[in-house]
Amino acid sequence: MAKQSYIELLRTYLGPLRWRVALLALLLFSLIGLQLASPQIVRAFVDRAVAGEAVSTLLVLAGAFIAVALVTQTVSLGVSYLSAWVGWSATNAMRADLALHCLGLDMPFHKSRTPGVLIERIDGDVTKLAKFFSDFVLRIIGSVLLLVGILVVLWFEDWRVGLALTLFSLVAAAVLVSLRNVAVASSVDEQESSANLYGFVEERLEGLDDLRANGAGAYTMRRMMGVAQPVFLSARGAMMRRSVLWTTTMGLFAVGYTLALGMGAWLFLQGEVTIGTVFLIFQYTTLLEEPIEEVASQLREFQAAAASIVRVRELSAIRSSLSADGSATLPDGPLALELDNVTFVYNDADGGRATEDRSQQHTMHAETEGVTSVSGLPPPVNMAQHHAVTPVSGLPSPVNSAVLNNLSLNLKPGHVLGLLGRTGSGKTSLTRLLLRLYDPTAGAVRLGGVDLRALQPGELRQRVAIVTQDVQLFQASLRDNLTLFDASVPDEQIHAALQEVGLAAWLESLPQGLDSEIAADGLSAGEAQLLALARVFLRNPGLVILDEASSRLDPATERLIERAIDRLLHNRTAIIIAHRLGTVQRADEILILENGAILEHGPRAALAAQPDTRFAHLLRVGMEEMLV
| Residues whose CB falls within 8 Å of the CB of residue 435, separated by 6 or more in sequence, listed in order | 460, 461, 464, 466, 545
What is the reported pLDDT for 543? 93
Radius of gyration of the chain (CA): 35
CA torsion sign, 425 to 429 to 435 to 441? negative
What is the reported pLDDT for 443? 92
- 26: buried, middle or exposed (CB in 10 Å: 19+, 13-18, 0-12)? middle
| H helical segments located in 158-215 | 159-178, 184-206, 208-213
Q: How far, CA to CA in Å, does 406 sit from each of 338, 402, 426, 431, 444?
A: 13, 9, 12, 16, 10
Kindly state the DSSP code that residue 402 receives in the 8-state scheme: -
What is the reported pLDDT for 575? 93
Over the chain (628 residues), the average pLDDT of each successive run of 10 is 66 84 85 83 82 84 89 88 85 89 84 80 81 70 80 83 82 72 71 80 81 82 86 82 73 77 79 78 77 71 75 83 76 92 77 41 33 36 39 41 88 92 86 89 92 86 86 87 89 91 88 83 79 89 82 68 86 85 82 90 91 86 59
Delineate the domains of the chain, giving CATH numbers in brackets: 2-317 (1.20.1560.10), 337-473+523-626 (3.40.50.300)
What is the reported pLDDT for 413? 93
Say how far apart CA 484 and CA 497 lie, in whole Å: 14
| Residues whose CB falls within 8 Å of the CB of residue 246, separated by 6 or more in sequence, listed in order | 296, 300
Cα-flanking dihedrals φ and ψ of residue 198, to 5°? -60, -45
